[in-house]
Structure 1
């Protein structure tokens, strides 16, 4: 029987198509923002600095959350740095180390005192931020974990564990911290707890 006027037609759509559509919407929104930034003379990914954007209002007058960039951990001051480090340490020690780091070797180094290496902290924090975004099916669909492995985990581990990476001076029996910047070790590792 044909559909009657005003009645919503029944559509049989494969379940995965909805995730694909949401991914396309997110990509379109990102490209639109990039084009807008470029046409207004800004840099891609840069938040617009016109009065409406700074006030958090859109063109239709509704309030929107102001765009916030993810924190770069090495630029944070206490207590934000300490909070971010506690969360990063938990993720590295509970997810990354047991799941992805086999026995260290000369070709695949790892330092159990990684938190004393600022370059390692920066790379692992970036890896963790990507993991948070790409393991959430609501924001990236079901291909997010694959993208995280290919685009984030594999390159980060290659750099961290290489013979010229931040753990180059660390061996199984010796930890080399001569290159550590003073005052970077988080208070979380000095016995301060939540």
Structure 2
């Protein structure tokens, strides 16, 4: 008795092309699986790769034990050389993308400071906005709905916090700049990292 003899199949008419498409897909999956197997065996990482792939596919977590995940740094926690590099990149994005694309002329109800990078609250919020933009505008990580999510969940709330008359730019008007709260010289202990 063959495998199909003992099973009841419903009488459904399917297009012949569907079976051909399925066979083409099966052949392609088999071919790609063979290529992956060959490449992993050739590199000597076959078993380790398979274990990592199973862990990623099964659990949706990072690819192995002992491997520390890399996350973008929160800008206010960086020390001067790294902070300066991150701030330069942030300034380039804010001035090149955000300001011309999303900010209208400042007004009493929608403030903006041309020296926004001297306002720590603005730097922190804009940096978080930029990190989200990097992730949510890449279809490989977020699909096609990422930009919509970025606008709704990140851009709009950020601008609502930064631009009102009571926000961090409250003392800044055209031609004037005022920063009431500068960063403290000593970082609070909850933010500092110890290398014990």
Shorter-chain TM band:
0.5 to 0.7
Structure (1 or 2) with the larger CA radius of gyration? 2
The CA distance in 2 between the partners of 1:7 and 1:120, in whole Å, is: 56
Equivalent position to 1:118, from 101, 117, 120: 120
Structure 1: 5+ residue stretches without partners: 11-28, 35-46, 57-65, 184-194
Q: TM-score, normalised by structure 1?
A: 0.63
Higher relative contact order (CA 8 A, sep 6+): 1
Q: CA deviation at 1:9?
A: 5.5
Q: Tell me: CA distance 1:9–1:181, structure 2 relative to 1, closer, same or farther (3 Å).
A: closer
Q: Tell me: CA distance 1:33–1:9, structure 2 relative to 1, closer, same or farther (3 Å).
A: closer
Structure 2: 5+ residue stretches without partners: 1-15, 27-55, 186-196
The CA distance in 1 between the partners of 2:133 and 2:25, in whole Å, is: 39
Equivalent position to 2:88, from 86, 89, 92: 86
- Runs (4+) of structure 1 exceeding 4 A deviation are 1-4
Aligned residue number for residue 147 of structure 1: 149
Q: TM-score, normalised by structure 2?
A: 0.63
The CA distance in 1 between the partners of 2:129 and 2:112, in whole Å, is: 16
RMSD (Å), alpha carbons? 2.9
Aligned residue number for residue 188 of structure 1: none
Aligned residue number for residue 173 of structure 1: 175
Q: CA deviation at 1:164?
A: 1.6
Tell me how many residue pairs correspond in the alignment.
Answer: 139
Q: CA deviation at 1:174?
A: 1.3
